[in-house]
Amino acid sequence: MIPEIAWRLLPETEPTESPPWAIRVADASPFSKRERLAYLWAIKLLSQASGQGISTAVIGLAQPGSSQAEVVDISAGFVSFGSKTGQQLDAFRTFRMREKSAEERTIIDGDSELNYTFGVVIGINDPKLFSREPDLRQLVSLPGGFPVIVEPRALVTQGPPYPSGVSAACYATPSVSKRFYGPRWSSGIVIARHVLANYGFSTGVSIPMSNGKNYSVSDIDPAATTIDAAILDCGALPTGTKALPLATAVAPSSLVSLALHGGAVAAQVLRINDHPNYFGNMMAHRAFVDKIGTSGDSGSLVTGPSLSTDAVGIYIGRCGLSPDEGLVQSLRQVVKYFEIDLHI
């Protein structure tokens, strides 16, 4: 859980000039006062961490002339880092904050092995990063002393061992205005896209489910990997299913529930990426949480604090940090991109 001391990182007042859409979302969400504050500051930082700021931070790590450097996720909120460099992945955060300027927002707790900051984290998928030391050129701060941290995204996806059956997040039906780019379907199952690696990323492929049944892929983006979701054709919805509403938003510190194989696990959101109208496949909408699953949990549904509440996302896997972070694909992006309605 986010420690009490970490809340000192946030200003006591809401940011000025917050995007109007963020205010509307915050007003419509059942946020506590703290969640609202963290949400608005996270959105403020995401709006500032664009263009030159991101380019400068990324150039500090990417090899000159590298064609493989690619931003795979951007998030804002609470960031933990070690008191000293541990694993290689942790080294990027720890180095960055150890070399921080005096004006940056950082909490160092002498009674804990972890320190905290509130800022922006940019994950990069570049194999060359794993053989490099962090570079001082990546030291970028946003107004107010909020740091921008670049790190390799060494995601450990947690799909089932092949050929075990995959997990489902929830059911889906096409929205009234849906455009079909592949086979038409009437009822489907939402799963994580990456679990198809052993079967193929194309429509018509038969996929074994954890309940022993097989369903075929009916809706998928075959080329882009930013949206970690796919739809399987299940023929008809089971009797008793009901509409599954989407959460209006989640904020850094929001409580969520991970419906993992071993049972529901309570987690807390650390960082978010939220956007009011772009849900395409150029940028992933992800949330980072403070709990992780195990093998076979990829594709599990993430909801509000109770599994009977609004849908938040699809569990993807762990980030390989210490302490580890779980990664969640936003279901709002999935709903908008695939033009579907959710059911459970």
Span 328-344, pLDDT tens digits = 999 999 999 999 999 99
Residues 238 and 322 in one domain: yes
Average pLDDT over residues 207-217: 90
266 or 129, greater pLDDT = 266
DSSP states of 292-303: ---TT-TT-EEE
251 against 284, higher pLDDT: 251
More confident residue, 85 or 134: 134
Neighbour count for residue 236 (Cβ, 10 Å): 9
Pair 312, 175 in one domain: yes
| Residue 59: per-residue pLDDT | 60
Q: Examine the domain organization and report whether 95 and 204 are in the same domain.
A: no
User: Is residue 244 located within the same domain as residue 159?
Assistant: yes
Least trusted range by pLDDT, from 45-54, 80-89, 167-176, 184-193: 80-89
| Token pair in block for residue 166 | 């995959």
Q: How many domains does the chain have?
A: 2
Contacts of residue 8, defined as CB under 8 A and 6 or more positions apart, other chains included, come to: 107
Compare 99 and 213 and report the one with higher pLDDT: 213
pLDDT at site 7: 94
Residues 186 and 145 in one domain: no
Helix, coil or strand: residue 138: helix
Q: Is the pLDDT of residue 261 over 70?
A: yes
Which pLDDT does position 278 carry in this prediction?
A: 86
Asked whether the predicted pLDDT for residue 313 surpasses 80, the reply is yes
Model pLDDT, residue 266: 96
CB atoms within 10 A of CB 219: 25
Asked if residue 288 and residue 227 are part of one domain, the reply reads yes
Given 118, 153, 188, the domain boundary residue is 153
Cα–Cα distances in Å, from 199 out to 192, 203, 205, 231, 298? 13, 11, 7, 14, 15
- Mean of pLDDT values over 211-222: 91
Asked if 25 and 71 sit in the same domain, the reply is yes
Residue 199 has pLDDT above 60, yes or no: yes
Angle at 82 between CA 148 and CA 115, to 5 degrees: 70
- Residue 200 sits in the same domain as residue 289: yes
85 or 240, greater pLDDT? 240
List pLDDT tens digits, range 75-84.
999 998 876 6
Lowest mean pLDDT among 105-109, 293-297, 300-304: 105-109
| Pairwise CA distance, residues 73 & 78, whole Å | 15
End residue of a domain, out of 104, 137, 153: 153
Average pLDDT, the chain: 86
Decide if pLDDT at 123 tops 90.
no
Among 98, 124, 153, identify where a domain stops.
153
pLDDT value of position 210: 82
CATH number of the domain that residue 186 is part of: 2.40.10.10
pLDDT of residue 204: 95
- Please indicate, yes or no, whether residues 300 and 290 belong to a single structural domain of this protein: yes
> Is residue 138 domain-shared with residue 163, that is, in the same domain?
no
pLDDT (0 to 100) of residue 127:
62
* Residues 8, 144 within the same domain: yes
CA distance linking residue 123 with residue 109, whole number of Å: 26
Same domain, 138 and 214: no
Lowest-pLDDT range of 13-27, 80-94, 281-295, 321-335: 80-94
Q: Structural domain of residue 85, as residue ranges?
A: 4-153
Greatest mean pLDDT among 154-158, 185-189, 294-298: 185-189
